[in-house]
Amino acid sequence: MAEMNPKVIKEDKWYDTCCGICYASCPIRVRTINGIPVKIEGQPRASTSKGAVCGKSVGSLSVVHDPNRLNTPVKRTNPVKGIGIDPKWQAISWEEALTTIADKIRTIYKEDGRQFKINVMPSQGSYNHPPIWALVAALGCTNESAGAGGMLCGNAAHFVAGLTHGSWSHTADTDRCNYLIHFGASKGHAAGHGSNQMMRSMADARARGMKQIVFDPMCNFVGGKATRWVPIIPGTDVAVILAMLNIILNELQTWDDVFIKTKTNAPYLIGPDRHYIRDAKTQKPFVWDAVEKKAKTWDDPSIKEFAIMGTYDVNGVKGTPAFQLLREHVKTYTPEYASKLSSVPVDVIRTVSKEFVTEARIGSTINIDGKTYPFRPAAAITFSGLNNHRNAWNSVAAMHMLNMVIGAMDVPGGCMGFPTRCFGYEETGRPEFKVSADPIEGMLLAGWWWGETTRGKMVRHKMWPIDMPTTPEVSLGLKKIWSWVNDSPFYFSSDRDEMHEKLGPDYKEAKAWMNWGNNMIMSGGNLTNMEDTLKRIPFFFTFDLYLTEITEFCDIVLPDASYLESVCADQNLQTGFNGPVGMKDWAFFFRQPVCEPVGERRPMPDVLLDIAWRVGPDFYAKFVQSFNGFWGLEGKAVLDTTKKYTYAEVSDNVLKNFFGQEKGLEWFKENGGVTWPKKAEEAFWRYDIPARVPVYWEFVLTMGEKAKEICEPRGVHMQWEQFSPLPSYFPIKAHEVTDPQYDLYTLIYRDTLHTGSSTQMHPEIDAVSDTNPYSYYININEDTGKKKGIKNGQIIWVETDRGRRIKGPVSLIKGLHPAMVAVAGINGHWSKYLKIGRGKGVYFNDLLEIDKDHVDPVSLSADSCVKVKIYPAKEEK
């Protein structure tokens, strides 16, 4: 076979940068030969990559070689917008495109900056959010969506992670954990959560004997590596979790007493109205001192012993410790009850509960860096599996309570915030990630990498204190009512007009939408809703790599630069899914272009700076001031709000601000990144911060009461009882379908080869997907298939009880619950411009109903599970 011909090589370079195919943004190295990118490898100097990188990243190299990329700005010449309708694109100059866009933005800015809609998080995962948020801030825009512009992201998961771990998400300290329960979370296997870092650390953990218990309808990625795979009916995990809590608290009567009493609100006294009994003067919740037999505020230093059981008289009011109420509450969730709902055998629920508390080694300690910590080598983790259901909040909250009862939160071996506490680079003390305690109720205040300074603030993830529902509404996403949610369905739900009419702001449509790279028509639920929403937008422009399906509704499409053609100063801080976990060294790597953009492609941040400049000096000043604010730029790094910047210049200031004057853009181009040792108190901070986590979600009750007060008089009825202070099981809509012909539930899952909706465009990833038995198929349990007379490879329809249906080829597999249909997302492109991705896989989301009755009333998470029937396509009439 051919040997390499080295004479061809005239120039051979390696660039240190960060991947952009998913939001993990793993540090990578890219080789170019003669200026052509030819190879992607992991960054060996980063504790997060350890020199390795997943298949998606390797295969994404073709993003810079793809002849189907958009290379010039285009505008539509066909005014008719719709699915499959050719916009009849016409190439235009950047000047024309930017003048048109800047004129629109200027008009909106002068009239009412709220009336703009921004959808962030591109399908190719290439993060660069600060310029987007600068636009939000400059406009005063109140309509922004992340999560690929959709709502299948982590509304409940991020909310609860902020309240329980002070962070954006969570994972496990897999370097020490011995028993890990996954509730529908493929972290370490297919998910982008820390991607390569978690793949390595979970493999290391398995190799040293960590057990993985996986509750999942499908035995695929994480299920396929499980010590015990537990197939489960979607949406019933919360019943199993509550049954586990019942077994642990009432049968085994085991819990971490120190953690429960000092790190949770378990001792807080709850009154007959289900709210805290508070000290009238300070508003601090009362607890009962069991020694002095009197009520004291929770933080009273004189408390000798917190009572967590019993009932007490507090100034004539009967008060019960939250823990007592929790134990009573979960008694109704017997393993038998949970088993009937979930199909998980009773003995499995009992065994896993017992193993979980046994493996937690409650009472044990470990010494790290000379300091003694509680050692709790057991954890439960989740993400989409619990998050994407109508009972999302109750499910996610209940799951975190498993970690609370064993005290396995931000201590060695347990469940960890992701990212965690950071004291900053050793030479500058920046960037910082700081969690803290609320002095009134003791709840945890989430941290974030970006700063709060005198020049403004941009706190991305403020969960506590909760902004309680208020009016008047300013957002079409109804975010004055649901202030705690990340993404709202009410921008495009089927009932959005009714919701806006009854609850919305004093405008009913945004005057313009801006999209950054995401393909929200495919990620936002059924096409009927999406088409109806998108075709009504008066002016819609987007940045994209390709003319994807969303561009069928756009007026102008701007050719974005891919992650291999862009600079991003703080790539490793953007998402909250990529910080080093546990005691892994801090690793901060930036993103730099490895080649010049082809054609007229320009990176979105530079274009937004250009647009802001064109809108006018006042607008531009606000835009740049936002950068100063949320990066917390100080001293020489402060950006001049009257100077026209490139994003490379902005990045230079950001890097110098974080890492010192000598470590600007040029230094990073040469060196790629910085690493420094993590301190134990950064990783395992739980007992250093006087904050508590809720075993009793009293404020959720208040949230529901306030929301109900606003909504009910306006004729909006929702399942308000889901705002429960004690997480409970509520059936999802699919559980309520009684017609026997709809006998299967649906699952959309993350394939290891795919993420977002752009990976199908890469020829190498696509070719390998064709060799995988699951990626591009409708997966059905083989016994179920046989019973229905369906064969491997057969084309079938999957149809919901509401008449929505999708079509695709079947793969009959063993590792799937018999009551399930499973499809990997997001596949099934139809744009003619996507020469490789078009027609690959099955488009799932068209099955989903998006309206107030199909989303979680607490978190507004959409439900990805519906009840369906399947039948051969040939029988179609």
- The SS3 call for residue 812 is strand
Task: Compute the least distance from the CB of residue 248 to other proteins, in Å.
Answer: 23
List the beta bridge partners of residue 805.
799
* φ, ψ for residue 565, nearest 5 deg: -120, 15
Looking at beta carbons only, is 234 or 504 nearer to other proteins? 234
**Would you give the distance in Å from CA 502 to the centre of its chain?**
29
Task: Compute the least distance from the CB of residue 396 to other proteins, in Å.
Answer: 24
Looking at beta carbons only, is 91 or 768 nearer to other proteins? 768
- Rounded Cα distance between 715 and 704, Å, is 16
Task: Compute the least distance from the CB of residue 228 to other proteins, in Å.
Answer: 9
- Rounded Cα distance between 583 and 416, Å, is 11
Looking at beta carbons only, is 215 or 448 nearer to other proteins? 215
- Rounded Cα distance between 822 and 825, Å, is 10
Looking at beta carbons only, is 189 or 804 nearer to other proteins? 189
- Rounded Cα distance between 420 and 411, Å, is 11
Instruction: Residue 723: name the closest of 484, 447, 401 by CA.
Output: 484
Task: Compute the least distance from the CB of residue 420 to other proteins, in Å.
Answer: 21
| Contact in structure between 319 and 312 (CB atoms under 8 Å) | yes
* φ, ψ for residue 747, nearest 5 deg: -135, 130
Instruction: Residue 773: name the closest of 782, 761, 763, 783 by CA.
Output: 782
Looking at beta carbons only, is 243 or 650 nearer to other proteins? 243
- Tell me the DSSP string of 723-760: S-SS------GGGG---TT--EEEEEEE-TT--TTTGG
| Contact in structure between 255 and 362 (CB atoms under 8 Å) | yes
Task: Compute the least distance from the CB of residue 770 to other proteins, in Å.
Answer: 11
Task: Compute the least distance from the CB of residue 52 to other proteins, in Å.
Answer: 4
Task: Compute the least distance from the CB of residue 9 to other proteins, in Å.
Answer: 7
Place of tokens 């660069």: 128
Q: Buried b vs exposed e over 724-756: b needs ≥16 C-beta within 10 Å?
A: bbbbbbbebbbbebeeeebebbbbbbbbbbbbb
Kindly give, in sequence order, each residue whose CB lies less than 8 Å from that of residue 265, ignoring residues fewer than 6 positions away.
285, 298, 322, 441, 442, 443, 692, 693, 694, 695, 696, 698
Instruction: Residue 479: name the closest of 456, 503, 462, 501 by CA.
Output: 503
Task: Compute the least distance from the CB of residue 181 to other proteins, in Å.
Answer: 16
| H helix or E strand, kind and range, residue 138 | helix 129-139
- Rounded Cα distance between 247 and 334, Å, is 8
Task: Compute the least distance from the CB of residue 44 to other proteins, in Å.
Answer: 6
Task: Compute the least distance from the CB of residue 409 to other proteins, in Å.
Answer: 27
Looking at beta carbons only, is 190 or 587 nearer to other proteins? 190
Task: Compute the least distance from the CB of residue 820 to other proteins, in Å.
Answer: 10
Looking at beta carbons only, is 215 or 333 nearer to other proteins? 215
List the beta bridge partners of residue 76.
89
- Rounded Cα distance between 698 and 276, Å, is 7
Place of tokens 């009362």: 286
Looking at beta carbons only, is 752 or 800 nearer to other proteins? 752
Task: Compute the least distance from the CB of residue 349 to other proteins, in Å.
Answer: 13
- The SS3 call for residue 347 is helix
List the beta bridge partners of residue 587.
675
Place of tokens 């009011």: 317
Looking at beta carbons only, is 542 or 781 nearer to other proteins? 781
Looking at beta carbons only, is 4 or 280 nearer to other proteins? 4
Looking at beta carbons only, is 744 or 753 nearer to other proteins? 753
Looking at beta carbons only, is 34 or 364 nearer to other proteins? 34
SS3 content of the chain, % helix, strand, coil (to 5): 30, 20, 50
